[in-house]
């Protein structure tokens, strides 16, 4: 018996990296909008028209914030493309159905960049904790702040991905794309401090630590990382922030230091430089400082 060919939704999910459960939920929500009796796997995506796509867009705008709407529209375009690749769509019908624009709104600039004092506070509370948890959490902050990793990228890191010789880290990013990022000397030292507790045996780089101080040789979950950050934020007495805000801070700090946006794009693993630009949280101060570099001649009258 010949194997069953996966449907468009499953092929789309397979094309994504780990941590794509949110896209699955997006497809389920869109399928329910178009037909409450169908789900992502049973819905006939090849029958979607431009009118259907626009109806989905309008419904999503009423229900979600713009950034969520755009993520869900990306899932719609992705599954339509898989239906076309399977030969279920003709090219003209596919391009019309997928020709639905993202939502433009200033609310896309959500989140914030942490200040230098807040960053110091987070590292300080980890330094004050002389246990394995303190060493681990300091190393986590070093990679978030020093390398700008996504949370899903961090939990997938292995010991073999870290090269202490040149302080580099091999990152497995979205859509199975790899990139190399680098830590400065201080960040590299924090990783090595954590490895003194964890050991250098093969396996996940970041692991749970029991109350007894024993390190488990299993990977941290993404939810556990969020809890760690929230606990350290409360200990440091700073305003709440999300794991992704540390990524925004990484981009913002590099741009503020004068690094060119293309280099920052490559370090962040963004496919498009416009995405990197949306992470910039320098505000009006950056524009004010920038114009000071312009030499406007003075003339006497």
- pLDDT for the residue numbered 172: 87
Evaluate whether 151 touches 226 at the Cβ level (below 8 Å): yes
- Domain ranges for the chain: 8-108, 116-282
**Using one digit for the tens of pLDDT, what is the confidence trace for 101-121?**
888 765 445 678 888 899 999
Note down pLDDT in tens along the chain; length 301 residues: 444 667 888 887 777 654 466 788 889 999 999 999 989 889 999 999 999 999 999 999 888 888 888 889 998 999 999 999 988 888 899 999 999 988 876 544 567 888 889 999 999 999 999 999 999 999 999 999 888 898 899 999 999 999 999 999 999 887 778 889 888 899 999 999 999 999 999 999 999 999 888 899 898 998 899 999 999 999 999 998 888 888 888 888 888 877 778 888 888 778 777 777 777 766 656 555 555 555 566 666 5
Q: Which residues make beta-bridge pairs with 181?
A: 169
- pLDDT for the residue numbered 107: 47
d(CA 260, CA 271): 16
Question: b or e along 225-240 (b: 16 or more beta carbons within 10 Å of the residue's beta carbon)?
Answer: beebbeebbebbebee
d(CA 140, CA 156): 12
Q: Which residues contact 156 (CB under 8 A, 6 or more apart)?
A: 18, 172, 219
Count Cβ atoms below 10 Å from residue 45 Cβ, excluding itself. 28
For residue 85, give the nearest of 45, 131, 123, 133 by alpha carbon. Answer: 45
d(CA 129, CA 139): 13
- pLDDT for the residue numbered 174: 78
**Hey, is 179 helix, strand or coil?**
strand
**Using one digit for the tens of pLDDT, what is the confidence trace for 254-282?**
888 777 788 888 887 787 777 777 777 66
d(CA 253, CA 144): 13
Q: Which residues contact 254 (CB under 8 A, 6 or more apart)?
A: 263, 264, 267
Count Cβ atoms below 10 Å from residue 293 Cβ, excluding itself. 6
Give kind and range of the element (H or E) at residue 248: helix 243-256
> pTM for the whole thing?
0.60
Q: Both tokens of residue 68?
A: 């969520």
- Report the 3 state secondary structure along 38-62: CCCCCCCHHHCCHHHHHHHHHHHHH
Domain range 116-282, CATH architecture: Orthogonal Bundle (1.10)
Evaluate whether 96 touches 49 at the Cβ level (below 8 Å): yes
- pLDDT for the residue numbered 287: 52
- pLDDT for the residue numbered 288: 59
């Amino acid at each position: 018996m010949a194997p069953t060919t996966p449907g468009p939704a499953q092929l789309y999910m397979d094309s994504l990296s780990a941590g794509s459960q949110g896209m699955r939920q997006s497809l389920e929500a869109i399928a329910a909008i178009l037909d409450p009796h169908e789900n992502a796997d049973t819905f006939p995506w090849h029958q979607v028209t431009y009118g259907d796509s626009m109806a989905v867009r309008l419904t999503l705008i009423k229900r979600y914030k713009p950034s969520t709407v755009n993520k869900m529209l990306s899932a719609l375009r992705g599954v339509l493309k898989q239906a076309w690749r399977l030969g279920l769509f003709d090219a003209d019908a596919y391009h019309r159905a997928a020709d639905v624009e993202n939502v433009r709104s200033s609310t896309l600039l959500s989140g914030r960049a942490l200040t230098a004092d807040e960053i110091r506070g987070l590292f300080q509370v980890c330094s004050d904790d002389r246990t394995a948890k303190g060493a681990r959490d300091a190393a986590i902050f070093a990679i978030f702040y020093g390398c700008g990793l996504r949370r899903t990228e961090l939990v997938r890191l292995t010991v073999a991905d870290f090269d202490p010789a040149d302080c580099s880290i091999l990152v497995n990013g979205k859509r199975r794309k790899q990139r190399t990022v680098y830590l400065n000397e201080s960040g590299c030292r924090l990783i090595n401090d954590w490895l003194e507790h964890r050991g250098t045996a093969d396996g996940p780089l970041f692991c749970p630590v029991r109350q007894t101080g024993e390190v488990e040789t299993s990977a941290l979950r993404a939810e556990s990382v969020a809890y760690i950050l929230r606990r350290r934020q409360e200990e440091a007495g700073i305003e709440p922030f999300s794991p992704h805000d540390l990524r925004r801070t990484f981009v913002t700090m590099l741009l503020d230091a004068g690094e060119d946006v293309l280099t920052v794009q490559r370090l962040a693993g963004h496919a498009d430089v416009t995405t990197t630009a949306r992470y910039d949280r320098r505000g009006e101060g950056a524009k004010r400082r920038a114009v000071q570099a312009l030499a406007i001649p003075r003339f006497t009258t």
